Amino acid sequence: MPVVTIDWWSGSNEDGRREAVDEISSTVSRIAECPLEAVTVIIREVETSYWGKGGKLASEL
């Protein structure tokens, strides 16, 4: 049972999350040769003030 976790900046919309879950689940199912129902996708939204990139907080970029 593959589990995929995605961390991305907060503020996504439900349609975007739905599309990501669909596409990632399909790809992992194909590569892992497992049923689509066996794939779990977890999306975690992180505030940009808690995300560092290039030595700066993402909220400062």
Q: What is the pLDDT of residue 10?
A: 95
Domain count, the chain: 1
Q: What is the pLDDT of residue 59?
A: 95
Q: Is the whole-model pTM more than 0.95?
A: no
Q: Name the nearest CA neighbour of 20 among 8, 35, 33.
A: 8
Q: What is the pLDDT of residue 3?
A: 98
Query: pLDDT grade, residue 40 (50/70/90)?
Result: very high
**What is the CATH number for 44?**
3.30.429.10
DSSP annotation string for 24-55: HHHHHHHHHT--GGG-EEEEEEE-GGG-EETT
Q: What is the pLDDT of residue 57?
A: 96
On whether the CB atoms of residues 24 and 42 are closer than 8 A, the answer is no
Q: What is the pLDDT of residue 48?
A: 96
Instruction: Please give the residue range of the domain that contains residue 16.
Output: 3-60
Q: What is the pLDDT of residue 39?
A: 98
